[in-house]
Amino acid sequence: MLTAAASRRLVTGALLVPTVAFLAVAFVVPVGILLKLSLTEPAGPLSTYADILGSWVYTRVFRNTIVLGLMVTAIAVLLGYPTAYMLTRLKGFALTLAVYGVLFPLWISVLIRTFAWILLLEKHGPVNRMLVGTGILDAPAAFLFSNTGVLIGMVHVLLPYAILPIYANMLRIDSRLMLASDGLGASPWRTFRRVYLPLSMPGVGTGAVFVFLLSLGFFITPALLGGANNMTVAMLIENLVNDRLAWPLAAAASFLLLAAVLALLAVTARFVKLDTALEAR
């Protein structure tokens, strides 16, 4: 006969084992095998990493990805901050509608959102027709297969990840602090700069880290909207696997990408609340 404590432990184990075993077999082992592959080249354990970091072509892809990510992050935060502020001023039905407006795009496949931008940004598409029609442009611009197209597409996909943490943070700001600042004679601009902005910075930080982290691994959007010069690390990995069959190099590039993500998470762990953004959906 089992004691009560032992049978309780047995039930706990039975509840957790399927998930842990599944993740071990379907996730930890495959990632481990890929790591081993990147480390067991005949030329030496770290030769694949040296190949990638020593090649001007490959490092340029990494640099491009980081620069693109920083630009997307900056634009997403600049667009997201006032939008999040507007959400804090809304009530009732308007608030529900606006929040759903931020959440719903997250449910739409990245592939569809990117395809929609192809239709809109085409040479003879609506965006170009509008810009030429209103006289802003003299001739249709080549948005597709360029930096501009990738930027527009990626900001569109990642913007909700900037808005949601900033909004969550702004909701926690005590509005009496602004009244106090106001009462003490500060100008609206000074109140914003000295009181509201610093208090909303944790949200901005979380949103920025989130957008940047996700942008580092982007594949579909840059692959469809970008040109030959817009290769990201994810596209490089795909290219190494499918076109060049250079598995060890692809594995090394994968772990350099993963290392960058983990390093950024470790540095920002103090103020980034991962769960806020995960539960957002």
Partner 1 sequence: MRWRPLLFRLAVHGFGSAVLAALLLPILAVVPASLNYGSFISLPPETWSTRWYGRFFADREWLTSLVTSFQVAAIATVVSVVFGTAAALGLIRVGRRLRAALTGLILAPLIVPVIVTAVALYYTSRSWGLTGTVTGLAMAHVLMCLPFVVLNVGVSLGGLDPNWIRAAEGLGASPARVFMTVTLPTILPGLFGGAVFSLMTSFDEVVMSIFLAGIQAKTLPVKMWEVVRLEFTPILSVASTLLIGLTVVMFVLFRLAAARTAAGTETRP
For residue 8, what are the contacts with CB-CB under 8 A and spacing of at least 6?
A: none
Q: What does the alpha-carbon distance between residue 165 and residue 274 come to, in Å, rounded to a whole number?
A: 10
Q: What would you measure as the largest C-alpha separation in the chain, in angstroms?
A: 86
CB of 262 to partner 1, least distance (A): 8
- Scanning the chain, the segments in alpha helix (DSSP H) are 4-23, 29-39, 47-54, 56-89, 92-107, 110-121, 126-133, 147-171, 176-183, 188-191, 197-216, 220-225, 233-242, 247-268, 274-280
Instruction: State the number of binding residues for partner 1 (CB under 8 A).
Output: 87
Window 17-56: residues binding partner 1 (CB under 8 A) = 18-20, 22-23, 26-31, 33-34, 37
Least CB distance from residue 9 to partner 1, whole Å? 9
If one counts every other C-beta atom within 10 angstroms of the C-beta of residue 61, the result is 21
205 vs 237, beta carbon nearer partner 1 = 237
Q: How far is the CB of 143 from partner 1 (least distance, A)?
A: 13
Question: Taking the complex as a whole, how short is the minimal distance between the CB of residue 51 and partner 1, in angstroms?
Answer: 17
Within 10 angstroms of residue 162's Cβ, the number of other Cβ atoms is: 31
Q: Which stretch binds partner 1 (CB under 8 A): 40-48, 49-57, 202-210, 211-219?
A: 211-219
Shortest reach from residue 221's CB to partner 1, in Å: 11
Q: Which of 67, 108, 137, 197 binds partner 1 (CB under 8 A)?
A: 108
Look at the block and give the residue holding tokens 């602090």.
Answer: 177
How many other C-beta atoms lie within 10 A of the C-beta of residue 164? 26
Q: Which stretch binds partner 1 (CB under 8 A): 39-47, 54-62, 67-75, 247-255?
A: 247-255
Report d(CA 10, CA 7) in Å as an integer: 5
Task: Kindly state the tokens that stand for 41.
Answer: 């080249």
Other CB atoms within a 10 A radius of the CB of residue 66 amount to 16
- The residues in 150-179 that bind partner 1, with binding defined as CB under 8 A, are 156, 159-160, 178
Of 130, 137, 177, 279, which one interacts with partner 1 (CB under 8 A)?
279
Per-residue interface string for the shown chain with partner 1, residues 216-235, x marking contact by CB under 8 A: xx-xx---x--------xx-
Q: Which of 68, 166, 209, 251 binds partner 1 (CB under 8 A)?
A: 251
Instruction: Kindly indicate which of the ranges 42-50, 51-59, 86-94, 133-141 contains the residues binding partner 1, using the contact rule CB under 8 A.
Output: 86-94
Span 110-139, contacts to partner 1 by CB under 8 A = 110-113, 115-120, 122, 124-126
Q: In the complex, what is the shortest distance from the CB of residue 45 to partner 1, in angstroms, rounded to a whole number?
A: 19
Name which of 31 and 201 has its Cβ closer to partner 1: 31
Distance CA 151, CA 1 (A): 65
Q: Taking CB under 8 A as the rule, does residue 194 contact partner 1?
A: no
Closer to partner 1 by CB, 72 or 234: give it. Answer: 234
In the numeric block, which tokens belong to residue 204? 């901005």
**Number of alpha carbons in the 13 Å side-chain half-sphere of residue 11:** 7
